Chains A and B, each alone.
Chain A
Amino acid sequence: NAGVTQTPKFQVLKTGQSMTLQCAQDMNHEYMSWYRQDPGMGLRLIHYSVGAGITDQGEVPNGYNVSRSTTEDFPLRLLSAAPSQTSVYFCASSTRTGRAGGYTFGSGTRLTVV
């Protein structure tokens, strides 16, 4: 049981490049989400999904795209990377209501845009 797996762990991009951050969970959780963590600002919700085929915007969605074709996978796409997107990105999953035990977080992807 791997939990929530994020790849890659580290990535350096040039401004304007695009890339996809991968997130997979093996707990059959309905809910998945992406956060970015910046110093002094806690975590901010980018996009979330309550099930396959359903996604919604969070607090800071601009510049990011998501899709949820399967229950297990929830990739985050950076369309045209900007230095302001330098951050640590976390994927999280839970049961639909999060009641069982909170959210399970992946180990994070540290992204630097130069």
Chain B
Amino acid sequence: ELKVEQNPLFLSMQEGKNYTIYCNYSTTSDRLYWYRQDPGKSLESLFVLLSNGAVKQEGRLMASLDTKARLSTLHITAAVHDLSATYFCAVDLYNNNDMRFGAGTRLTVKP
């Protein structure tokens, strides 16, 4: 059974600090996605990681994928309040469009 585990589930940060969110998954896949969700809103695609060693960066967020370790990370650099949201990773089960989500990391950035 595929498990997608994110940690931490809740994260409270000070502005200007750095932190990493981890996403572990339990089966073969080389497609991993990161999404952002604001309260009461839909999901917004942040990153699509399609191969081992893939690294993508957008602003203060950087995502990476290690398919051998079955691990993806979302690194936050110099956090700002606008990054407050829930972040989800999702894995494409067996690369077959059967996408499974982690439980999400609720990030709060405090001034």
Contact of B88 among A43, A58, A97, A98 (CB under 8 A): A43
A107 touches B42 (CB 8 A): yes
B residues at A contact (CB < 8 Å): 4, 9, 31, 33, 35, 41-48, 50, 88, 90, 92, 97-104
B42 touches A103 (CB 8 A): no
Convert A42-70 into 0s and 1s, putting 1 for each residue whose CB lies closer than 8 angstroms to a CB of B: 11110010100000101100000000000
A106: Cβ under 8 A from any B Cβ:
yes
Q: Chain A contacts of B100 at CB under 8 A? A: 45, 59
A8: Cβ under 8 A from any B Cβ:
no
A residues at B contact (CB < 8 Å): 31, 33, 35, 40-45, 48, 50, 56, 58-59, 90, 92, 94, 96-108
Q: What residue of chain B has the Cβ atom nearest to residue A49's Cβ? A: B97
Contact of A98 among B47, B97, B102 (CB under 8 A): B97
Q: What residue of chain B has the Cβ atom nearest to residue A48's Cβ? A: B97
